[in-house]
Amino acid sequence: MAMNRLVRSGEIKAPIVIGRDHLDAGSVASPYRETEGMRDGSDAIADWPLLNALVNTAAGASWVSIHNGGGVGIGYSQHAGMVVVADGTDESARRLERVLTTDPGTGVIRHADAGYEEAVRFAAAHNLKRPMEDH
């Protein structure tokens, strides 16, 4: 990752924090906003943000959050957030690679599972494993 190399070389003098609060792909269940009208009716299924948080934890995110409300009111949505730090070390390079792959990858898998053809094509083109595909 370029940012991690810049920190390692000293061109950037301090670690860089890359964070994401919530987005409409794999880290949100918000039937009145981000995930409204999912093709398969999975708008409110809260398993996706929880899975996203667990996957980001396993991938090595520096911190992971699970929260709800997200602008629509407490109890009406579930979200997961993450942060990963580029500090110039080999370990952070590995974590960055994993987290910045699995985090958006969860969204691709979610949308492929919901029947969005663009997500199905992207998953196939990038060899993303889709556990639900076998069922």
Condensed to tens digits (0 to 9), the pLDDT of residues 88-114 reads 999 999 999 999 999 999 999 999 999
State whether residue 96 is helix, strand or coil: helix
> Comparing 70 with 130, which gets the higher pLDDT?
130
Please report the DSSP string for 9-52 in residue order: HTSS-S-EEEEE---SSSSEE-TTTTTTT-TTS-TT-THHHHHH
Between helices 2-9 and 90-113, what is the axis angle to 10°? Answer: 170
pTM over 0.75? The answer is yes
Q: Decide if 120 is inside a domain.
A: no
Q: Decide if 81 is inside a domain.
A: yes
Number of domains observed in the structure of the chain:
1
Q: Decide if 121 is inside a domain.
A: no
Domain that holds residue 58: 2-103
Q: Decide if 58 is inside a domain.
A: yes
